[in-house]
Amino acid sequence: MNSYPKHKIIDDVGRMDFARVTEMLKDAYWSKGIGIEEVKQGAYNSALVFGAFTPDKLQIGYSRMISDKTRFAYLLDVYVDENFRGQGIGRAMIDFVLRHPILKDVYQWVLITMDAHGLCNNFGFKSLEFPERRMEIRTPCVRR
């Protein structure tokens, strides 16, 4: 657990407010229409899950990490409630994630973003060095 000026960031999946997280993520460009069961399944199958909370325990931020906790970590679902943006919460969450002791051995960090390049660049993320080596399989998403 870590504290920032007004908000607390925790890494306890059991303390996430999944109804609130679903409300935040369902309108995000990468997870349009996502349902609570898919949010929960993704969280419980992730290496780590993070939440940002107000002093009165309202969840205002969320992110998670898919990782082997040794070589590779994929940061995703970084989201801050629109009413709380501009307060450094997203920056604090990313900082918390990158400094997490469970991830201390990781040496390859990745993320995918359409609109947060400036923020992520501040932490050392940059465009892929060898994009021609990256491959993917993409199938239509069936929401649960």
pLDDT tens digits for range 78-126: 999 999 999 999 999 999 999 999 999 999 999 888 887 777 778 778 9
From 111, 109, 110, 102, select the one nearest 69 (Cα to Cα).
102
Q: Decide if 81 is inside a domain.
A: yes
Please tell me the total count of domains within the chain. 1
Chain centroid, CA 90 distance in Å:
9
Q: Decide if 129 is inside a domain.
A: yes
Q: What is the DSSP letter of 14?
A: G
Domain that holds residue 124: 2-133
Predicted structure pTM score: 0.88
DSSP string, 48-85: EEEEEE-TT--EEEEEEEEE-SSSEEEEEEEEE-GGGT
Q: Are 54 and 7 in contact, with CB atoms under 8 Å apart?
A: yes
The percent of the chain in helix, strand and coil, each rounded to the nearest 5, is: 30, 25, 45
Q: Decide if 17 is inside a domain.
A: yes
Q: Decide if 72 is inside a domain.
A: yes
Q: Decide if 41 is inside a domain.
A: yes
Given this model, what pLDDT does residue 77 score? 95
Q: Decide if 140 is inside a domain.
A: no
Q: Is residue 134 scored above 90 in pLDDT?
A: no
CATH number, domain of 39, equals 3.40.630.30
**Cβ-proximal residues to 111 (8 Å cutoff; 6+ apart), any chain:** 74, 75, 76, 78, 120, 125
Given this model, what pLDDT does residue 128 score? 84
DSSP string, 114-135: SS-HHHHHTTT--S-S-GGG--
Helix (H) or strand (E) segment spanning residue 22: helix 18-25
Q: Decide if 138 is inside a domain.
A: no
Greatest mean pLDDT range, 43-47, 83-87, 129-133: 43-47
Q: Decide if 15 is inside a domain.
A: yes
